[in-house]
Structure 1
Amino acid sequence: MNDVAGKKGTVVVFICNHCPFVKAVIDRMVSDTCVLMSEGVGFAAICSGGVPRACRGHACDCDHRCRAC
């Protein structure tokens, strides 16, 4: 957690990249995350399905979208 902790706080979200609700807000989430990080707020998004398991049928969970902003 120290790798993502910000001086002004830390946001942790649990997502699933193939969830329709996440798909609907992911661009806004990335944009907001970049702004928050520039202001000293850390951010971590955890793929709640677990990447190895989720990759079996949802290739989108294995690509660059699972990496940091």
Structure 2
Amino acid sequence: MIAGVIAAVAFVLICLLVVMLRYMYRHKGTYHTNEAKGTEFAESADAALKNDPTLQDAMDESRKEYFI
């Protein structure tokens, strides 16, 4: 009886380990960024921000802020 319970727990732990390793292997190195598309070739940060359509309304040329 005790051997059956131990075997069942060991089987469940091995299954969980296999599922976890498979998930980690399939998602290895994948990440998502929220950077604007097409800004990697911009000459400066100002040029990249000027071409970003989501920031067109929010930009004011007189005040520039840079967050480091």
Q: Check whether TM > 0.5.
A: no
Bigger strand share: 1
Of the two, which has the highest radius of gyration?
2
TM-score scaled by structure 2?
Answer: 0.25
The alignment's TM-score, normalised by the length of structure 1, stands at 0.25
Bigger relative contact order (CA 8 A; separation at least 6): 1
> Relative to total residues, which structure has the larger helix share, 1 or 2?
2
